Amino acid sequence: MSHASNLIATDIDEYLHAQQHKGLLRFITCGSVDDGKSTLIGRLLYESKLLFEDQLAAVVADSKKWGTQGDQIDFALLVDGLAAEREQGITIDVAYRYFSTERRKFIVADTPGHEQYTRNMVTGASTADAAVLMVDARKGILTQTRRHSFLVNLLGIRHVLVAINKMDLVDYAQQTFQRIEQDYRLFAEKLGFESLTFVPLSAFKGDNVIETSARMPWYQGPTLMGWLETVPVDTLRLCQQPMRLPVQWVNRPNLDFRGFAGTLVSGQVAVGERVRVQPSGRESTVARIVTKDADLTLAVAGQAVTLVLADEIDISRGDVISAAAAPAEVADQFECSIVWMDDEPLLPGRAYMMKIGANSVIATVTDIHHQVNVNTLEQMAARRLELNAIGVCKLSLDRAVPFDAYADNRDTGGFILIDRMTHRTAGAGMLHFALRRAHNIHRQALDVDKAGRAAIKGQRPCVVWLTGLSGSGKSTIANLVEGQLLTQGRHSYLLDGDNVRHGLNRDLGFTPEDRVENIRRIAEVARLMVDAGLIVLTAFISPYRAEREMARAMLGEGEFIEVFVDTPLALAEQRDPKGLYAKARRGELKNFTGIDAPYEPPPHPELHIDTTTCTAEQAAQRVIEALSLAGVLG
């Protein structure tokens, strides 16, 4: 038992009791299209008169709110209103509805049933304690039933109620209910929910929603509302987990006060308790627990607090304060599950921005172990993840972060991936565990550094990254530039696209996935050469902005000079020195940039060369002049 539990056990018991009986339950309704989700929510609100602050609020994509007056609500109008939201196209976002009873307050996420809105179902389920899975008694277990069940389990929801709806349309037949229950239990054996409850009901007529139905005397289980009022709230479990406080803000209004603010996402912490700051690993004790109202002697999961520590420790936003006896892990490589939410596919090797807690890091999927067929739970090979796909992947970060497995703590184990070019949320993920090599591989400190290597060469190392269509003249220009650098006594190296594909990248083709990996490897090699003090020239089509920006991010300020060798497609085809465009036009060469594969021009290159207005020699001279202006040549 922790120090906090020993200190004020009575207070904790009272808190847990209050959470159990008067807490907030977040739950999600999900299932296939037309299974009756909106009707069920309407029935809950109508029959039980569950009015939060005397008003029914529906928060939807456009933030429009509508409500009713007290008990005068009409059930048919309410259901029509819920259905109207679907007709207006509001299904692209999750609708949250707020209500309460004497025992509990509720937030229900009403999610769309269509497969194309999987991302919205994930959004609604990510904070839910429980799920109500709707099944039409006439149709039984459908594809979307299985898909949503898998997602609910993947997102850590442990308590599921299968609402077998529209029993009135099958004459309240016990055999129908039992058959569906048996079918679902057989499927759910592979998922391992903590609790699984089945309720036969009619949302339209109110059977077993609030009151036990006389039409189904053969059913002896709880009503839907009875289950909602007694199912365990996740806060109870989190209070018993190891303490975690992700630091949101360092509060230092004056020299006498330095506090670390955030929400306690799990566990308990008391004044005098020993804590560890991660990823640094430094330890201290809690001197004060500050809130806006008063200091506390104990804080528990769910409370927003500011911790003041007894020792002066360097702590920043994104660090995690953990229980010293049971700290979070720290790693930079993981196995994880990813639900892909973007129209553009996830490609291994492409860099994304990753948000985990208050941390922002650069993340790359290094390998897709398999994709999951959520209808059969079959594991399938995959080289990319398309919209709504779910895969088990290996993930590599640019620095180590504190974390817990998602199964233990959603807040410290869940993350999102953001497209670095569009800033769209591209995927949601759940960390499983750190890869073993993340613990066994450490950076070795070296006595000779980049500055020393560059100093003896009398130059500032950098990468000159030439990008453009095939036939634009990249290799010709780069070759001329290196020749001039040699005559000046400079130390350089030219990485040419074709030459590299004869060796380092001979295993790669020209699919989008292989192009991404091709540039990732080149960027890593170029970074090592810059560390050696060299001026590195690269001549690659490098068609994707994301990979060029990844290469830029690997280097220091001013070490990446992007040169756009701009040649119209018609002129590049006319030149066609290797006959590649002709092959592509005949269909003999697939995924050829400019023909059946895209090229994304640099929006703001350091140097823009229009090859229709200058010769290769003139272009090379412009590159040399740019290097001189940048201070590369001393």
What is the rounded CA–CA span in Å between residue 400 and residue 396? 9
Of 185-194, 221-230, 478-487, 576-585, which gets the smallest average pLDDT?
576-585
- Catalytic-residue membership of 542: yes
CATH number of the domain encompassing residue 550: 3.40.50.300
Mean pLDDT across the chain: 83
Q: Are residues 62 and 101 located together in one domain of the fold?
A: yes
* Domain final position from 413, 440, 467: 440
Q: Are residues 156 and 278 located together in one domain of the fold?
A: no
* Domain final position from 204, 232, 260: 232
pLDDT bin (cut points 50, 70, 90) of residue 275 is very high
> Would you say residue 584 has pLDDT above 50?
yes
For 315, the token pair is 């702590």
Residue 373 falls within a domain, yes or no? yes
Residue 306 falls within a domain, yes or no? yes
Catalytic residue among 32, 213, 470, 542: 542
Q: Are residues 313 and 423 located together in one domain of the fold?
A: no
Instruction: Determine the average pLDDT of the residues in 113-130.
Output: 73
pLDDT of residue 147: 84
Q: Tally Cβ neighbours within 10 Å of residue 468.
A: 26
Q: Are residues 200 and 166 located together in one domain of the fold?
A: yes
Q: Are residues 498 and 574 located together in one domain of the fold?
A: yes
- 340 vs 111: which has the higher pLDDT: 340
Q: Are residues 58 and 159 located together in one domain of the fold?
A: yes
What is the rounded CA–CA span in Å between residue 122 and residue 153? 11
Q: Are residues 59 and 101 located together in one domain of the fold?
A: yes
For 140-243, strand residue ranges (E) read 159-165, 195-200
Q: For the purposes of burial, counting CB atoms within 10 Å of the CB of 630, is it exposed (0-12), middle (13-18) or buried (19 or more)?
A: middle
Q: Are residues 202 and 250 located together in one domain of the fold?
A: no
Residue 10 falls within a domain, yes or no? no
- 115 vs 101: which has the higher pLDDT: 101
> Would you say residue 355 has pLDDT above 50?
yes
Residue 408 falls within a domain, yes or no? yes
pLDDT bin (cut points 50, 70, 90) of residue 12 is very low
Positive or negative torsion for Cα 18, 265, 130, 122: positive
Q: Are residues 316 and 342 located together in one domain of the fold?
A: no
Q: Are residues 137 and 62 located together in one domain of the fold?
A: yes
Residue 16 falls within a domain, yes or no? no
Instruction: Determine the average pLDDT of the residues in 488-508.
Output: 88
> Would you say residue 6 has pLDDT above 80?
no
pLDDT of residue 442: 53
Of 258-267, 384-393, 394-403, 586-595, which gets the smallest average pLDDT?
586-595
* Domain final position from 279, 294, 323: 323
Q: Are residues 63 and 78 located together in one domain of the fold?
A: yes
Instruction: Determine the average pLDDT of the residues in 113-136.
Output: 78
Task: Report the domain count for the chain.
Answer: 4
Q: Are residues 427 and 460 located together in one domain of the fold?
A: no
pTM for the predicted model, two decimal places: 0.71
- 535 vs 439: which has the higher pLDDT: 535
pLDDT tens digit sequence for 530-555? 999 999 999 999 988 888 988 998 89
Give the residue numbers spanning the domain of 139: 24-232
pLDDT of residue 46: 72
Cis peptide before 601 (omega within 30 of 0): no
Residue 360 falls within a domain, yes or no? yes
CATH number of the domain encompassing residue 309: 2.40.30.10
pLDDT bin (cut points 50, 70, 90) of residue 122 is confident
